[in-house]
Homo-oligomer: A and B are copies of this chain.
Amino acid sequence: MSKSEIKALVFDVFGTVVDWRTSISRQAAAFGVKHGVQSDWDQFADDWRVGYGVGMDKVNSGEDEWKIVDQIHRERLDVILPKYGFPQLDEDVLADFNKAWHRLGGWADSTEGLTRLKSKYIIASLSNGNVALLTNMAKYANLPWDAVISAELAGKYKPHPRAYTHTAELLGLKYDEVMLVAAHNNDLRGAINAGLKAALVTRPDEFGDAKKPDLEPENDFDYFAKDFHDLADQLGCD
């Protein structure tokens, strides 16, 4: 398959483009100070994140109706706050803190690397995060997307094939003209199973010391890069 056929790069976002764990931990620490709570905020971030996979699996399996990631985050937040000793909080305070996931910082190479890749390709998000979350995050983290695309628009979460194929269709491209860029083998397998191309970019610090990141491709993906600059070099971007 010719590598020159790629017309769009679509990106997993949580972990691949933004450092969710550090960003959530930092915001949770500030939230703790404000409400008189002390804790291990990295663990809090991991605990909050647990709800994400579980919540999406329930939607894809049909056990739950469609719900956006903001709602999945909020349901998990309501479960963990009492566990960490937070008092009852007002609805507007909770709604704002739930948007911590809209305020995630990019990795050091994210903005510059994406800008280089954008010079040659259409670049778009392809995240399970909802459109509002991704739009606000792009503004916050200075992510220069050509288009904000979300699994929300397909009504199925990655790694369901429809999340990938629907994205290519929205962009008016053949499936193999689109390459998913992600730091996770599982997501990339979903992309190639759906007919897209795939590039693994490693993010060794995504999980801190809580969990091992994917540092090697587990399948025969099209590209394997250590960050977005390395990918831009391999793809011949200025």
Contacts and interface: CB of A to CB of B under 8 A. Distances in A.
Interface of A: 70, 122, 124, 130-136, 138-139, 146-149, 152-153, 170-173
Given A122-B139, A138-B146, A146-B139, A132 B173 contact: yes
Contacts of A136: 122, 172
Contacts of A139: 122, 146
A152 B171 CA distance: 12
Contacts of A134: 147
B170 A131 contact: yes
A98 to B, nearest CB: 11
13 contacts: A130-B170, A131-B170, A131-B172, A132-B170, A132-B172, A134-B147, A135-B171, A138-B147, A139-B146, A147-B147, A148-B148, A152-B170, A153-B153
Nearest to A8: B135
A171 B131 CA distance: 6
A210 to B, nearest CB: 29
Nearest to A139: B146
A130 B172 contact: yes
Contacts of A132: 170-173
Contacts of A130: 170, 172
A146 B171 CA distance: 17
Given A70-B172, A153-B153, A172-B70, A135 B148 contact: no
Nearest to A143: B146
A136 B7 CA distance: 11
* Central interface residue in A138, A147, A149, A172, by most chain B CB within 10 Å: A147
Nearest to A70: B172
Nearest to A68: B172
A152 B153 CA distance: 10
